[in-house]
Structure 1
Amino acid sequence: MATQTIGDEAKSDGIMLMVLGGALCIWLASGQHWLVATETATLIVAGLLLHRHKIAGIYLTLGMVLAMSVYNLSVLLRKGLGIKTAIGLLLFVGLWQCWRKYGRILRNQATWDDPLVPHETLPPDSEESDDTPMISIVLLRRHALPLDEDTLSAAVRRAWSHPQKAGDDEELFAVGEGFLFIVRNGMGLWTVHNRAHPYFDDVEPVIASIPEMRLQKAVRDHGAWLSIDLTAPFDKSLPAESFYPHIFRLLRELADGDTLAIFRPETGQINVWDDEVAAKLCGPEPLQDFTQRSQPPVIHVEDDDPLMVAAVTEARASFPDFRKRWLERDNGERFLVKGPVRSGNRQEYIWFSVTDLSEETAYGTLENEPVDLNGLKLGDPVALDLADLNDWAFLPADGTKPLGFHTVKAVDAVGKRTLEAADGS
């Protein structure tokens, strides 16, 4: 994926600060305290300076967050812990995050054009080398999820089976609005981001690194994203794996028909979202299971690729064996063929189960979900002109080794070749 620079992050943070300042302006119009006016002006100015890559914006942002953090600490000492105070104390986390992003510029160790280097790639003697990657999972979506405190609180209760109401001044709460929410449970404090723009700065290099066409389409079609990040664990001795089940359970509650893919930034693992993947998130090994494909991979292979030409030639030459077995078929045996399925100006090579076979045509139902064939779906009836046969397969009723599947190795080899080419670019 595209390398994000410190300057890119500054532009994003600057816009966020100006939006927050604008929201406070609206609130200020209702007659709020003078302190709100000061915060509003500071947010807008800091955001503008950061967006324009001015060092003064870093100093102003750090100073503002520090002042607000100290203020909330004083409230905590006077009045005790409350929801607003707890959220305010998260500003200390924000202060640290701001220093991690921009501190290198202030120390003359980086420029705005330098990349945001992942902490796990820092050299051993770096002062930040002990930091671990953020525990986070992202859902890629068509559109931003309509989300408010009540909706998120209900999802939290369903996901974490907590008897208390979110918002109580106890173990569990969910607060926030728009694109940023904070959630607390017995494991720690979590941040929920709900953004109405693509997750990747430049989606084309990401797509180019993915050989599977179904996943390519999911990444290409997404225009928004939702993530759950672990902000502050209460027990830092726990392994990272112990936190992910909490994320997965909450994501299952927040996912809907607009969800296209699930992505783990720490490792770069990504998978198409569907009901089978969603079910695996609550299994015993969600980190391993969520990457397992629920549909056979769809890989683009050129018609003249030597590996595919050889495989198709072999499949067609051995098709008489398939036909003989079909004529002698018994209950429980399965017969599959693969060939081009067309809809409008689109075409995909798909497996389907054979229900009838003539001299020139195979009839059946789609065995796989098409990637993009204008509404055609799993189980729809199709017919294949046997002159276009790409492959065949016979699955015995006793579960012994199937026959056919001549093109599978060729498709796997092309997919591996695509990945190696992307890694080498």
Structure 2
Amino acid sequence: MKPPLQKPRFGLAWTSLWAVVIGGLLLGVGVISGTEPTLIVIGSLFLLIGILIWQEVSIGLWAGFLAFGVMAVLHATRMLGDFHWRFLVYCLAFAQLSYESFQGLRQLRDAETSGHAYSRSKTPLNADNDDPEKDEPMISLVLLQRKQKYLEDIILAKLVEAAWGGDYSGASGSEAGDPENEESPSGDGFVVGESPLFIIKSPTGMYLVHNMDADYWEHKAEVVEAIGELRLRKAVADHHAWLSVDLLTPGDERPDMNAAYLTVARLLVALADEDTLAVVRPESMDINVWSDEMADRLLTPGAYEELSQQDNAPVIPIADDDPAMQAAVATARHRWPEFVAAFQRSGGSPTVEDDSKFVVKARITEGGSTEFIWVNVIGLEPKYVHGRLANDPIDLGDLELGSQVEFPIADVCDWCYFDNDEPVGLFSLEAIRLSQQADEATN
């Protein structure tokens, strides 16, 4: 269950507050009159519904949908028998609250089904909303950016040539003429447009490139709240622009998905830069933090289906007072001499290739930010540990994967080494597993 003071997602805050206000008014009237126990019961029911909706509990949304719907029907009936404008207003208001509860229920169900709540308000550009029977996949990939990328048609043409090969320089800018013209003056295709929208004509189809100076989600704060993994949460929170490559597929053609996504991915990787934070697949709304490894993965057939698998080691928040984690840290510190003895038996100075055999999780502080992160140990002193970061930090200044660090032994909270290829240590894994199970049970 979410923290009580945290606003509910899916626009349910006002629905919850109205339920509480209605419940409070009915309860107050019932208590003051002293002769209307029915009002007390109904008022208490609406108060409970409001609280459950605020906590995003499914049964509360179901109850809200039904209770608001019943109230709408009752006022509609009264309006038919004795028309008055206030009955119409009440009927419409309760019908709207019932609809909001139903929509919240659907979005909550979708979020639970997909494992996240990345609700995007945008409609795919190649979606045919006039034909409900048509369910063509959206072939598109999106980069979340810190800031809008500087991009011109000539620059994009060069990137297209580098990613796809061929000649796209024959028709760019004002030389291109009408972008709907199917005939390219020369070369293999052309690029036209300017930020925020470009059109690419190539032998494999027509593509759109969006270069937007805005958040990808209209309600980005709600998306950030829904992300449990801290590294991914920060990437989404820090983005203020986005860049996408979309393939416009004709309605009567179904391209090979692997080939189509691979073509899109090649251009997307060419467009990525130092401001790229994450990659999104709109069709499934899978998100992954951007990295060199992620770029390499995207350039393999079928990789688009694996974007939900985190490329980096996940960073899961756990409360400092979590009993299981406190016990794990205490065990790791109590058994620390075992790690020291094993390290010394290895010779005490492993090579770069072998240093991953001895790792510790430690509290690292840099630039006013503190993270608990795994470190490959390369040296031990009586009171200090020397090593290289085994994970990419979330926000530790200039530190990155492989950066050399040193810290006091008192900051170690877990450790692991291998004895005949069997891991020894990893005391915090069970605490993390229990924490994740608790989160899944409450959500």
- Secondary structure (helix, strand or coil) at the match of 1:414 reads helix
Of 424, 438, 443, the residue aligned with 1:403 is: 424
The residue aligned with 1:220 is 237
Of 160, 164, 168, the residue aligned with 1:160 is: 164
- How is 1:25-424 mapped onto 2 (pairs within 5 angstroms)? 127-163=131-167, 165=169, 167=171, 168-169=184-185, 171-233=188-250, 236-330=253-347, 332=354, 334-395=357-418, 400-415=421-436, 417-418=438-439, 424=443
- Secondary structure (helix, strand or coil) at the match of 1:151 reads helix
- Give the whole-Å Cα distance in 2 for the aligned partners of 1:193 and 1:225: 8
- Give the whole-Å Cα distance in 2 for the aligned partners of 1:268 and 1:188: 24
Deviations 1:192-226 (A, max 9, x none): 11100111111121112211111111111111001
- Give the whole-Å Cα distance in 1 for the aligned partners of 2:215 and 2:157: 25
Judge conservation of contact 1:189–1:233 (CA < 8 Å) in 2: no
Q: What are the ranges of 5 or more consecutive residues in structure 2 without an aligned counterpart?
A: 1-7, 12-99, 104-119, 172-183
- Give the whole-Å Cα distance in 1 for the aligned partners of 2:437 and 2:218: 25
- Secondary structure (helix, strand or coil) at the match of 2:249 reads strand
- Normalising by structure 2, we get a TM-score of 0.62
Q: 1:244 to 1:118 in 2, by over 3 A?
A: same
**CA apart distance, 1:177:** 1.0
- Secondary structure (helix, strand or coil) at the match of 1:402 reads strand
Judge conservation of contact 1:187–1:234 (CA < 8 Å) in 2: no
**CA apart distance, 1:275:** 1.1
Q: 1:420 to 1:187 in 2, by over 3 A?
A: farther
- Give the whole-Å Cα distance in 2 for the aligned partners of 1:416 and 1:240: 35
- Give the whole-Å Cα distance in 2 for the aligned partners of 1:420 and 1:220: 26
Aligned-residue RMSD, C-alpha = 3.0
Aligned length: 307
- Give the whole-Å Cα distance in 2 for the aligned partners of 1:117 and 1:178: 19
**Share of identical aligned residues, percent?**
36
- Give the whole-Å Cα distance in 2 for the aligned partners of 1:117 and 1:279: 28
- Give the whole-Å Cα distance in 2 for the aligned partners of 1:281 and 1:420: 33
1:264 is matched by which residue type in structure 2? R
**CA apart distance, 1:335:** 1.2
**CA apart distance, 1:294:** 3.7
1:365 is matched by which residue type in structure 2? R
Q: 1:415 to 1:207 in 2, by over 3 A?
A: farther
- Give the whole-Å Cα distance in 1 for the aligned partners of 2:235 and 2:121: 26
Q: What are the ranges of 5 or more consecutive residues in structure 1 without an aligned counterpart?
A: 5-112
**CA apart distance, 1:135:** 1.7
- Give the whole-Å Cα distance in 2 for the aligned partners of 1:365 and 1:164: 45
- Give the whole-Å Cα distance in 1 for the aligned partners of 2:230 and 2:366: 17
